């Protein structure tokens, strides 16, 4: 299990780095396009590249937020349940994430041959490259959910069924950006 967490931590660092670089590159492209338009020119290719870069920044960023458990959690009703039920609902919710991401990944893989044949209008990059970050994020979130399910079940087997949020944070392979 520690090796699984270490691998996920390394992949999370890579995802965060790519998300940060692609976001910065997209913003630089947009700024350059605005600047060039102010002097009467145009970077005709900038919009498609910026859109592609934002796709990578968005989906890899979402995956990173999921891994570090920095997402909005609605605990109002959940925290009032008995601890045993919290574990059950927690595992069910993680399995729902696995199923949703698996369906998303399957759909993207099914469409991949067609998307590889059709290029974008302006820069002539296969449309598949717009779907690729969604696929990478889905795989990452599947592995992250499986990791969290295993971690919580192991803690429950040891008799530690305190607050699920505390268990989740203590088993997270990266709970803050500072750990990166």
pLDDT digits (tens, 9 = 90+) for 24-37: 999 999 999 999 99
In a domain, 64, yes or no: yes
- Which residues form the domain of 98? 2-70+80-179
Residue 122 carries which DSSP code? S
pLDDT in tens, 109-137: 999 999 999 998 899 999 999 999 999 99
pLDDT one-digit tens code per residue, 155-169: 888 876 666 666 565
Number of domains in the chain: 1
Nearest residue to 83 (alpha-carbon basis) of 159, 3, 1, 172: 159
pLDDT surpasses 90 at 18: yes
Crossing angle of helices 83-117 and 128-157, in 10° steps, is 160
Residue 157 counted as domain residue: yes
What integer pLDDT is reported at residue 180 of this predicted model?
43
> Do the domain assignments include residue 62?
yes
- Assigned domain for 87 exists: yes
pTM (two decimals): 0.82
pLDDT for position 82: 80
Q: Which helix (H) or strand (E) holds 41?
A: none
Report if residue 75 sits inside a domain. Answer: no
């Amino acid at each position: 299990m520690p090796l699984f967490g270490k691998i996920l931590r390394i992949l999370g660092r890579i995802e965060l780095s790519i998300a940060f670089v692609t976001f910065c590159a997209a913003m630089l492209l947009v700024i350059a396009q605005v600047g060039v338009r102010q002097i009467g020119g145009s970077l005709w290719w900038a919009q498609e590249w910026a859109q592609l870069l934002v796709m990578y920044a968005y989906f890899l960023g979402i995956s990173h937020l999921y891994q570090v458990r920095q997402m909005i959690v609605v605990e109002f009703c959940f925290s009032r349940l008995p601890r045993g039920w919290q574990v059950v609902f927690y595992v069910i919710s993680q399995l729902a994430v696995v199923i949703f991401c698996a369906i998303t990944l399957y759909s993207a893989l099914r469409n991949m041959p067609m998307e590889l044949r059709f290029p974008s209008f302006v820069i002539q990059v296969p449309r598949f490259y717009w779907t690729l970050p969604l696929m990478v994020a889905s795989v990452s979130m599947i592995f992250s959910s499986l990791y969290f399910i295993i971690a919580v079940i192991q803690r429950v087997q040891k008799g530690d069924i305190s607050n699920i949020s505390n268990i989740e944070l203590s088993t997270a392979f990266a709970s803050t950006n500072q750990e990166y």
